[in-house]
Amino acid sequence: MNRDSASDARLALRCLDLTSLKDDDNPASIEALAHRAATPHGAPAALCVYPAFVPVARRALDACGLSGVRVATVVNFPHGTATPAEVEAQVAAARDAGADEIDAVFPWRALRDAGDAQAGAALVAACRRAGGTLPLKVILETGELQDPVLIRRASEVALREGADFLKTSTGKVAVNATPQAVEVMGAVIREQGARAGLKVAGGVATIADVQVYLGLAEQVYGAARLGPDTLRFGASSLLAALVAALDGTGAPPAVGGY
């Protein structure tokens, strides 16, 4: 089908988790990120930052009149090697700091290298316990799992243990989001009643990228259900392309990653 770039950009902006997960993040850079979220065309769904910057992000968003923008943070990030007890403590600390949403890395190595799905089940369950009703996005690191069978298995385990979203990637590995991985994840979500959302993260930087994933998400939820409750884009550089499309000035050069 033919897609309308402006309509797709408007939807993607509403579904954007504007992200900064850099080694040199600091309070000033997170405040600047919050200011970027105040666009003439509306605001993103969330800012995604490291746990240390959750209070900074919340204060900065409120100061910009963006109290409706949520603050997301990451745990077991980026390597996915912490124990369930360690991750449970990380989630509890993030919740107490004011995080609205949790993005947790699935222990993908255990599944890929040893066929161990129980490690993932235990970790997601620990996040669910500690986070209570906070939305939980489970990062599968699909570019490292690679095999569609493993991506499907990780998706099934995460949903069974209470994930609210399946997320592709940390943005910290060589291969991040791909249409093939999102298709597998979406199929599992659809088979389980489409009660969970889908987050596409890592390397999404252009309107063309967005349109590919919107098409895949429509196959899962139908166009009428697409919104921040069912779909997120995790990106840092995508915002400029969305605003350019909505301004009618064309897309700026793409810069991938977080």
d(CA 124, CA 118): 10
- What percentage of the chain exceeds 70 in pLDDT? 96
| Candidates 8, 17, 100, 103; catalytic one | 103
- Computed from CA positions of residues 251, 255, 256, 258, in that sequence, does the dihedral angle turn out positive or negative? negative
Is 199 catalytic? The answer is yes
pLDDT of residue 252: 52
pLDDT of residue 258: 58
- What percentage of the chain exceeds 90 in pLDDT? 94
Return the closest-CA partner of residue 173 out of 95, 112, 217.
Answer: 112
| Architecture label for domain 5-247 | Alpha-Beta Barrel (3.20)
Q: What is the pLDDT of residues 70-81, one digit of tens each?
A: 999 999 999 999
Residue type for position 215: G
Q: What is the pLDDT of residues 84-141, one digit of tens each?
A: 999 999 999 999 999 999 999 999 999 999 999 999 999 999 999 999 999 999 999 9
d(CA 252, CA 244): 7
Q: State pTM to two decimals.
A: 0.95
Is 167 catalytic? The answer is yes
Any idea where the domains of the chain sit in the sequence?
5-247
Q: What is the pLDDT of residues 34-90, one digit of tens each?
A: 999 999 999 999 999 999 999 999 999 999 999 999 999 999 999 999 999 999 999
